[in-house]
A = this chain, B = another copy of it.
């Protein structure tokens, strides 16, 4: 691995306002983009292992989709040594892209 390709765990969480059809479309688009970058672990939570370029790329793509007045996007940077920084209790996620279409 070359310098500059260090990958970190980025947690992406989002709230998209789905009161309108346009909002529901944004929600689907956000989920669909996130699927390209990582693993869906909860309905609006994705864990993505990304280098700096990919992180900027997904931020940029999501920023273009959301309505910044109505929707919220958050990114949490968990570093490259993240194995012990995540704890889970309960049911495991079992989402697929189709699931996002019926929210």
Interface residues, chain A, CB within 8 Å of chain B? 11, 13-15, 17, 41-45, 59, 62-63, 66-78, 84-93
Additional pairs, 6, CB under 8 Å, beyond known A42-B72, A69-B91? A15-B45, A42-B44, A66-B90, A71-B90, A73-B90, A76-B85
Alpha-carbon separation in the docked complex, A100 to B45 (Å) = 19
Known: A11-B11, A13-B42, A91-B68. A78 touches B74 (CB 8 A): no
Residue of B nearest to A70 (CB): B91
Contact of A88 among B41, B45, B72, B90 (CB under 8 A): B72
Closest CB in chain B relative to A28 CB, distance in Å: 17
Minimum-distance CB pairs A-B, first 8: A75-B87, A15-B42, A73-B89, A68-B90, A77-B85, A72-B90, A71-B90, A13-B45
Give 20 CB contacts A-B under 8 Å.
A15-B43, A15-B91, A17-B91, A43-B44, A44-B44, A45-B45, A59-B87, A63-B89, A66-B90, A67-B90, A68-B91, A73-B88, A73-B89, A73-B90, A74-B86, A74-B89, A75-B88, A76-B85, A77-B84, A77-B87
